Amino acid sequence: MPKTLTMSIMEPPYEAAASTTAMRIIDAALRRGINVNVFAYEGAVSLAVKEQKPHPNPVHGTTVEEEKHPTTKEFVTSLFELAKEKGVKLDWINCGFCVDERGAVNWVEGPRRGGPADFHKWVQESDATIVIPTK
């Protein structure tokens, strides 16, 4: 039976290195055949927002295509695709109150709405839990 890792993340996109580290941990766990639960709290609910757009870099003089600016919504999508490819489960809950406060309601395919009670349940059922706080 595959093991399950639960993570709680709170950093909004494009603010801190913790979001990237969290994505790297999720990626590594899925590649190892570990089921992953992600509870996105506070600003982290915006990681999956669909309206995110890559941009050019006027400082470097690069176009959108040349810059290849990564968006966190693409990371989220690729993690769900990886889970499917590896035959493991990625469950991603965006905190409903946090979503409403921020108006961050339109997401890429994958995440679903929930609340802290879901996180509590996951913690009880999982083999390990990582809580990555904001700075």
Partner 1 sequence: MPQYVMVESRDPFESRDVPYFYNLARDLAAKGEKVTLFLVQNGALASRKNAKGNPLTGLLDSSVEILVDAFSLSERGIQDSEKLTAVKTSGIDDLVCRIMAEDGTKILWH
* Residues in touch with partner 1 (CB under 8 A): 3, 5, 17-18, 21, 24-25, 27-29, 31-32, 34, 127-133, 135
Instruction: Tell me the C-alpha to C-alpha distance, in Å, between residue 23 and each of 27, 49, 56.
Output: 6, 15, 24
49 forms beta bridges with 107
Residue 15 vs 51, nearer CB to partner 1: 15
Q: Which of 105, 131 has the CB closer to partner 1? A: 131
Tokens of 42: 């506070």
Instruction: Identify which of residues 64 and 130 has a Cβ nearer to partner 1 in the complex.
Output: 130
Shortest Å, Cβ 51 to partner 1: 28
How many other CB atoms sit within 10 Å of the CB of residue 97?
13
**Least distance from C-beta 114 to partner 1, angstroms?**
22
Nearer to partner 1, 27 or 81 (CB): 27
- C-alpha 38/C-alpha 87 separation (Å) is 17
Minimum CB separation of residue 15 from partner 1 in Å reads: 13
The kind and range of the H/E element at 5 are strand 4-9
